[in-house]
């Protein structure tokens, strides 16, 4: 069967090649003579001509300084008079902040500035919805929320000062399970907003009809866990003001222009007074795609009139920086005996944690990709992003793609097993071709999925069971 | 405050530090920022330095414990501008992406190759198991260590010969 | 890190005196791989650390007329490299090789490992399977106790806050006893044990029966334990896969593993069964010079 599909693939390629050749019809000459060229080698992009460096060995320009230890990451930089910041974090997943008493910390020798959420001019940010406080002021929404921050002459003093900040909380019922959070009676995390903050629906064809016609309908729930990026370099930034009230921020942030806009908004400062200096980054993976403590450092630096550096601890990284969304994915797929997918129904619930962050983007991508690289004429995708009182989920390598990939590929294997079809074969049978429409109607070009599958199967020696 | 005397990359240094100061903090305070702080609990290996030739996590060694010892850091790997075979091989193989784990990995690899330049890939893996790379260039890293080892073995175990 | 004082002691007696004078807020520190993290996490808040790493009496690995003596300061790396360990108790080197990674093994000591008394510690099972004894130094002098009586619970031993672990002794009778160590972690390098187990046994040349079987398990209860019923079962039945599998099942009934983020209790129970069986069969092949024997 694999051989047959190989043939079929070649046919497809030939067809494509013929189409390409037809474009070359010599109209100028008046005669409809197709200059049929020999078909190009099978779907091989002519990379060398497009980008001469592809396939060449090029030393990374930063390799050598990385290897000698010269590269300066943020924590390796020091400005004269620089202070160190530490953030006081919530002790509750969900609570009302009754009071924050910073007096003891402020009185400590070596402490140069303390700020709370009330010091933030515009205390909200976020790439899609501005639902995240810079420092929580009225409520904490998860354990990683900062409630106050300290700048001191040493990291150790800053750490001790944070311990002396007294916060009184009134705990609120917390929700940790995204399915529970979707319940109408669940505590509203960002009251009065509903816990479901984003929904994406894709409808194509008639899934119910497809299920009725199918020889086999499989249904299963798949779920994935929360994943932290764990860049070896923790989040890091330095903020410094000059005498004309201009702010410079050195940050390991991946999106400097977005960060600059967020700084301007939250500090209520004209954007031209802010300079964000990007630096070497010790790993991002999507986790350094939005500001974290940059505005806090800026406020501390303004108060102390000295530059302030802030480095996340590994604990901060885990509780307070974004993560990859845990997904709960319900898949129902109808197939013919031969293994052809007739229809698929998908319900995705993305646990967004306490804030939206990049959930909008991740959920959209997950929804579009949830049918897999397969031709599914009848599709119904219903996708939700939901608030819970957990560390927020955001961007991470693939923006929702790895989660759904785990689900659709697992189900593909289940179907293959159920129908006793080779797992490779069933994929070749259903995979996209040149010109296949995506679930949202995009006509796909440069489709190489079948070739990739075959090449991969060849390289790792895939054999149909029994062969 | 305690007084510590440490020979770093061949240079004698002295400091008065609070007792809770780690070797990592002290080295970085001395301006040797090549050694990185990644987790501060011994898991990631970004702070790996050699203490009397032995790889250790700088974040788990008190400065007082290093008193009287000799310490090698990534800054001491190249001599008089001549790169160490490890540094050359890491550059050649593009083993370092973000680079943050690099200094620690280089020092772990140095400990291994100093003792056994012909280390096998599985020995290299064991030697590097305390160093995390999140850009996941492990394959290139392991290839580079093996190549550097072969070079060193060819030079009778000498690194800068 | 929170501030503390630091003193280096050069003898056991001086160390004990400093500990007593500052009890209960002073702590010994050997390789520091455990205690510094405990301080950072606020699990302990010592006002003074007493560095014992320079005390000569706590060092060394040697054969005495009573058996194999391992100084509490012996690092995991020293244990792995020691020809004496390789000859007389190679399973201990196998266990040390699974502790953390090179950096941790270079600094971390076997004594510190035992005193840390976390349920998953990898240093205990082999020593317990070999009926090791430990020497403790305190204000009342020296005292020897069986390692099986040393642990009280998570992070708690009979030492209290003012005594020093001097050394560990594998009794002469058990040198060379067939012993096997097995550990299961979430990855191969630098992972704490979901469970670990050591099994040791003699095989009676005349009867072919196993004798003095020991099965010690870690990470399955608040402290390392002996699966004594499983041990007795192996001694009482014809050795072989069937007996070893059954012993695994019995061992699992003696354990009380926890559910946590690393694994569920049910999964750990399964691991106990499998790893106990494997450890027994490997020890048995060693004893009978079988294919897996050393
Ligand atoms: C990244 C990492 C990975 C690890 N992986 C493992 C693992 O896989 N398996 C494992 O078992 N452990 C592991 N550990 C824990 C630890 O490294 C080992 O337990 C090590 O052997 C501890 O020895 P130490 O000398 O460093 O102890 P220290 O930190 O010096 O001391 C530990 C405790 O024992 C006390 N103490 C030390 N020596 C004595 C003595 N002679 N008398 C009285 N009290 C004493 C100290 O006061 C302290 O309470 C790991 C640690 C890290 C950081």
Q: Is C40 within a domain?
A: no
What residues contact residue C55 under an 8 Å CB cut-off, 6+ apart? C9, C10, C11, C12, C15, C73
What are the CA-CA distances from residue A444 to residues A45, A455, C196, C260 (Å)? 15, 20, 52, 45
Query: What is the domain partition of chain A in residue ranges?
Result: 75-171, 178-227+324-460, 236-320
Which chain C residue is nearest to residue B129, measuring alpha carbons? C189
Domain range enclosing C268: 178-288
Residue A7 has pLDDT above 70, yes or no: no
- CA B115 to chain C, closest CA, distance in angstroms equals 13
Q: What is the pLDDT of residue A51?
A: 64
Query: What is the domain partition of chain B in residue ranges?
Result: 2-76, 85-154
C196 & C273 share domain: yes
Inspect the interface and report whether the beta carbons of B75 and A68 lie closer than 8 Å.
yes
C-alpha neighbours within 13 Å on the C-beta side of residue A249: 33
Highest mean pLDDT among A126-130, A158-162, A253-257: A158-162
Pocket test for ligand 1, best of C30, C57, C96 (most atoms within 8 A of CB): C30
Residue A19 has pLDDT above 90, yes or no: no
Chain B, residues 125-154, CB within 8 A of chain C, namely: 125-127, 129-131
Q: Tens-of-pLDDT digits for all 294 residues of chain C?
A: 889 999 999 999 999 999 999 999 999 999 999 999 999 999 999 999 999 999 999 999 999 999 999 999 999 999 999 999 999 999 999 999 999 999 999 999 999 999 999 999 999 999 999 999 999 999 999 999 999 999 999 999 999 999 999 999 999 999 999 999 999 999 888 899 999 999 999 999 899 999 999 999 999 999 999 999 999 999 999 999 999 999 999 999 999 998 988 899 999 999 999 999 999 999 999 999 865 444
C167 & C184 share domain: no
Instruction: State which ligand 1 atom lies nearest to the alpha carbon of C44.
Output: 49
Q: What is the pLDDT of residue C140?
A: 92
- Split at pLDDT 50, 70, 90, the class of A24 is very low
- Split at pLDDT 50, 70, 90, the class of A35 is very low
Name the residue among B57, B56, B69, B58 with its Cα closest to residue B22.
B58
Which chain A residue is nearest to residue B141, measuring alpha carbons? A67
Q: Is C239 within a domain?
A: yes
Q: Is C46 within a domain?
A: no
Inspect the interface and report whether the beta carbons of B37 and A59 lie closer than 8 Å.
no
> Considering only CB atoms, which chain A residues are within 8 Å of C1?
156
Query: What residues in chain B have per-residue pLDDT under 70?
Result: 157-161
Inspect the interface and report whether the beta carbons of B33 and A229 lie closer than 8 Å.
no
Residues near ligand 1 (Cβ within 6 A): B 42-43; C 27-35, 37, 52, 58, 72, 98-100, 104, 107-109, 111-113, 115-116, 121-123, 159, 164-165, 190, 192
Query: Residue A115: is it exposed, middle or buried by C-beta count within 10 angstroms (0-12/13-18/19+)?
Result: buried
Which chain C residue is nearest to residue B130, measuring alpha carbons? C101
Give the nearest partner residue to C40 out of B18, B41, B111, using CB atoms. B41
Residue A3 has pLDDT above 50, yes or no: no
Residue A466 has pLDDT above 60, yes or no: no
Distance CA A252, CA A75 (A): 10
> Across residues A305-326, what is the average pLDDT?
97
Could you read off the pLDDT of A165-183 as tens digits, one per residue?
999 999 999 999 999 999 9
The residue written with tokens 């390409």 in the block is: A20
CATH number for B85-154: choose from 1.10.3720.10, 1.20.120.530, 1.10.150.120, 1.10.287.3510. 1.10.150.120
Distance CA A247, CA A86 (A): 20
Give the nearest partner residue to B100 out of A67, A232, A311, using CB atoms. A232
C69 & C168 share domain: yes
Could you read off the pLDDT of A186-221 as tens digits, one per residue?
999 999 999 999 999 999 999 999 999 999 999 999
Q: What is the pLDDT of residue C13?
A: 96
Helix axes C265-287 and C241-253, enclosed angle (nearest 10): 140
Task: Yes or no: say if A346 and A330 are a contact pair by the CB < 8 Å rule.
Answer: yes
**Which one of B98, B102, B137 would you mutate to disrupt binding with A, by most A Cβ within 10 Å of its Cβ?**
B98
Domain boundary residue, one of C173, C193, C221 = C173
Chains in contact with C via at least 3 Cβ–Cβ pairs below 8 Å: A, B
Q: What is the pLDDT of residue A10?
A: 35
Inspect the interface and report whether the beta carbons of B100 and A282 lie closer than 8 Å.
yes
Name the residue among A356, A354, A320, A291 with its Cα closest to residue A122.
A291
C240 & C185 share domain: yes
Q: What is the pLDDT of residue B156?
A: 78
- The architecture that CATH gives domain A75-171 is Alpha-Beta Complex (3.90)
CATH code of the domain containing C113: 3.30.465.10
Task: Give the CATH number of domain B2-76.
Answer: 3.10.20.30
Chains in contact with A via at least 3 Cβ–Cβ pairs below 8 Å: B, C
- Can you list the alpha helix ranges (DSSP code H) found in A69-218? 103-107, 155-163, 178-182, 207-213
Question: Given CA atoms A425, A429, A434, A440 in this order, what sign does their dihedral have?
Answer: negative
Q: What is the pLDDT of residue A15?
A: 34
Q: What is the pLDDT of residue A26?
A: 36
Residue A387 has pLDDT above 80, yes or no: yes
Q: Is A228 on the interface with B (CB under 8 A)?
A: no
- Split at pLDDT 50, 70, 90, the class of A463 is confident
- CA B14 to chain A, closest CA, distance in angstroms equals 20
What is the residue-averaged pLDDT of chain A?
90
Name the residue among C169, C172, C171 with its Cα closest to residue C142.
C169
Domain boundary residue, one of C132, C158, C173 = C173
C199 & C132 share domain: no
Distance CA C194, CA A278 (A): 42
Which chain B residue is nearest to residue A70, measuring alpha carbons? B34
| Domain A178-227+324-460: CATH class, spelled out | alpha beta
> Considering only CB atoms, which chain C residues are within 8 Å of A156?
1, 3
Task: Give the CATH number of domain A236-320.
Answer: 3.30.365.10
């Amino acid at each position: 069967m694999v051989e047959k599909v190989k043939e079929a693939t070649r046919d497809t390629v030939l067809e494509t090649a013929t189409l390409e050749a037809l474009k070359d019809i010599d109209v100028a000459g008046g005669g409809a003579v197709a200059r049929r060229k020999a078909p190009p080698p099978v779907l091989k992009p002519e990379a060398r001509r497009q980008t001469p460096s592809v396939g060449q060995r090029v030393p990374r320009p930063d390799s050598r300084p990385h290897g000698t230890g010269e590269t300066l990451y943020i924590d390796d930089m020091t400005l004269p008079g620089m202070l160190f910041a530490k953030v006081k974090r919530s002790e509750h997943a969900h609570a009302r902040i009754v009071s924050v008493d910073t007096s003891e910390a402020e009185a400590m020798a070596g402490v140069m500035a303390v700020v709370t959420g009330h010091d933030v001019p515009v205390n909200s940010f976020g790439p899609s919805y501005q639902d995240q406080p810079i420092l929580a002021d009225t409520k904490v929404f998860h354990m990683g929320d900062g409630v106050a921050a300290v700048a001191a002459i040493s990291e150790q003093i800053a750490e001790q000062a944070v311990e002396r900040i007294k916060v009184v909380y009134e705990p609120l019922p917390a929700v940790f399970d995204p399915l529970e959070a979707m319940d109408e009676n669940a505590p509203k995390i960002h009251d009065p907003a509903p816990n479901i903050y984003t929904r994406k629906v894709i409808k194509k064809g008639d899934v119910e009809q497809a299920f009725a016609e199918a020889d086999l309908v499989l249904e299963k729930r798949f779920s994935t866990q929360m994943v932290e990026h764990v860049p070896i370099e923790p989040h890091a930034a330095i903020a410094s003001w000059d005498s004309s009230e201009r702010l410079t921020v050195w940050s390991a942030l991946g999106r400097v222009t977005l960060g600059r806009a967020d700084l301007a908004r939250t500090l209520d400062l004209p954007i031209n007074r802010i300079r964000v200096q990007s630096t070497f980054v010790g790993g991002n993976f999507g986790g350094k795609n939005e500001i974290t403590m940059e505005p806090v450092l800026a406020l501390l630096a303004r108060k102390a009139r000295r530059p302030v550096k802030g480095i996340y601890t590994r604990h901060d990284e885990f509780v307070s920086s974004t993560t990859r969304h845990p997904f709960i994915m319900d898949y129902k797929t109808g197939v013919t005996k031969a293994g052809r997918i007739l229809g698929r129904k998908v319900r995705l619930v993305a646990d967004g944690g306490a804030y939206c962050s990049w959930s909008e983007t991740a959920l959209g991508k997950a929804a579009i990709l949830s049918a897999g690289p397969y031709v599914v004429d009848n599709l119904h995708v219903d996708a939700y992003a939901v608030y819970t009182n957990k560390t927020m989920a955001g961007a991470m390598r693939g923006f929702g793609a790895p989660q759904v990939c785990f689900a659709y590929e697992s189900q593909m294997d289940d179907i293959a097993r159920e129908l006793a079809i080779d797992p490779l074969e069933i994929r070749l049978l259903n995979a996209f071709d040149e010109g296949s429409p995506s679930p949202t109607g995009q006509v796909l070009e440069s489709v190489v999925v079948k070739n990739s599958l075959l090449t991969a199967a060849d390289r790792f020696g895939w054999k149909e069971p029994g062969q | 405050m305690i007084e510590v005397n440490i020979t770093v990359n061949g240079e004698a240094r002295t400091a008065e530090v609070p007792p809770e100061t780690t070797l990592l903090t002290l080295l970085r305070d001395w301006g040797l920022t090549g050694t990185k702080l990644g987790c501060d609990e011994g898991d990631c290996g970004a702070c790996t330095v050699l203490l009397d030739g032995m790889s250790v996590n700088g974040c788990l060694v008190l400065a007082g414990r290093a008193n009287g010892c000799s310490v090698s850091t990534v800054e001491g790997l190249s001599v008089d501008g001549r790169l160490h075979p490890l540094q050359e091989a890491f550059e050649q193989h593009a083993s370092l992406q973000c680079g943050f784990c690099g200094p620690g990995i280089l020092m772990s690899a140095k400990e291994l190759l100093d003792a056994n330049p012909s280390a096998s890939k599985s020995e290299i893996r064991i030697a590097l198991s305390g160093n995390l790379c999140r850009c996941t260039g492990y394959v290139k890293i392991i290839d580079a260590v093996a190549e550097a080892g072969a070079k060193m073995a060819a030079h009778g175990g000498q690194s800068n010969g | 890190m929170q501030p503390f004082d630091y003193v280096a002691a050069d003898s056991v007696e001086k160390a004990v005196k400093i500990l007593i004078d500052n009890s209960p807020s002073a702590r010994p520190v050997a390789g520091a791989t455990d205690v510094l993290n405990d301080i950072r996490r606020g699990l302990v808040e010592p006002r003074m650390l007493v560095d014992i790493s320079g005390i000569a009496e706590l060092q060394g690995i040697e054969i005495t007329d009573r058996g194999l003596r391992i100084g509490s300061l012996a690092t995991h790396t020293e244990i792995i490299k020691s020809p004496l360990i390789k000859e007389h108790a190679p399973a201990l080197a196998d266990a040390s090789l699974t502790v953390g990674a090179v950096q941790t093994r270079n600094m971390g000591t076997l004594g510190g490992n035992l005193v840390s008394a976390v349920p998953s510690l990898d240093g205990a099972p082999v020593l317990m399977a070999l009926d090791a004894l430990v020497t403790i130094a305190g204000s009342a002098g020296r005292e020897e106790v069986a390692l099986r009586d040393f642990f009280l619970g998570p992070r708690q031993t009979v030492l209290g806050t003012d005594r020093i672990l001097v050394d560990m002794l594998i009794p002469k009778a058990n040198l060379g006893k067939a012993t096997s160590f097995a550990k299961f972690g979430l990855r191969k390098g630098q992972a704490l044990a979901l469970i670990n187990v050591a099994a040791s046994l003699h095989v009676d040349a005349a009867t072919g029966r196993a004798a003095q079987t020991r099965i010690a398990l870690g990470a399955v209860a608040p402290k390392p334990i002996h699966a004594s019923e499983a041990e007795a079962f192996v001694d009482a039945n014809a050795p072989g896969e069937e007996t070893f599998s059954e012993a695994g099942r019995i061992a699992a009934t003696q354990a009380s593993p926890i559910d946590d983020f690393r694994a569920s209790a049910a999964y750990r129970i399964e691991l106990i069964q499998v790893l106990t069986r494997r450890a027994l069969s490997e020890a048995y092949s060693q004893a009978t010079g079988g294919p897996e024997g050393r």
